[in-house]
Homo-oligomer: A and B are copies of this chain.
Amino acid sequence: MKKKISKAVIARLPRYYRYLSDLMEEGIDRISSNDLARRMNVTASQIRQDLNNFGGFGQQGYGYNVQYLRGEIGKLLGLDRQKHVIIIGAGHLGQALANYANFSRRGFEVKALFDVDPAIIGKTIRSAQVYSLDYLETYLAENEVDIATLTLPRAHALEVINRLCSGGVKAIWNFAHTDLPVPENVLVENVHLSESLMELSYRMIAETEDEE
């Protein structure tokens, strides 16, 4: 039985992965928690605590082996496995995501997009074809899809979510501006862009008032 890891710790793992990738590119083999902490603008004790959740990875007095630690965090994040990703909604945002070279470098392979617009259906974006949304059920029956990305208006997202769940999709990366009603065994990760913009706006006002 694995220990339950807090959401805050999990949310920090990708940032560790990013900094370790940078260190590798710079040719740095080994780093102390103090030096890593300074770079990341956090405390060394937070780093040690975070990584202790997974067994530590460090050797007292020797610091961390950059390549090893990056590999282990990568495994925790599932980056060593191929993930079959589809995108529902091939508008600007869907196309932007399909074009991200970084995703495939981390094992997230966008294999297909789906849309209702005849002007887009049939096109190829990077190596992924845009299919008609009518073809979704057939595609899900013939392919083991790991992640479905929703980049379509909220009303349509609510329609398509049932079709995805019926088709066996277990993880949704949701950009639609709504909370999705999904069965308990389906994971949803929301990216509500306008909410992030509103948070920024809140902080802008709060800062101004502090100065007054």
Residues of A within 8 A of B (CB): 2, 5, 10-11, 13-15, 17-18, 41, 76-79, 83, 91-93, 95-97, 99-100, 102-103, 106, 108, 146-147, 170-171, 173, 177-179, 185, 187, 189, 191-207, 209-210
As for how many copies of this chain the complex holds, the number is 2
Which of B14, B96, B187, B198 is close to A14, meaning CB atoms less than 8 Å apart? B198
CB-defined A-B contacts under 8 Å, sample of 8: A2-B210, A13-B202, A18-B195, A92-B95, A106-B194, A108-B197, A146-B204, A191-B191
A199–B189 touching, CB < 8 Å? yes
CA A203 to CA B41, docked complex, whole Å: 26
- B-chain residues with CB within 8 Å of residue A15 when the two chains form the complex: 192, 195
- B-chain residues with CB within 8 Å of residue A210 when the two chains form the complex: 2
A10–B106 touching, CB < 8 Å? no
CA A178 to CA B125, docked complex, whole Å: 26
CA A93 to CA B5, docked complex, whole Å: 33
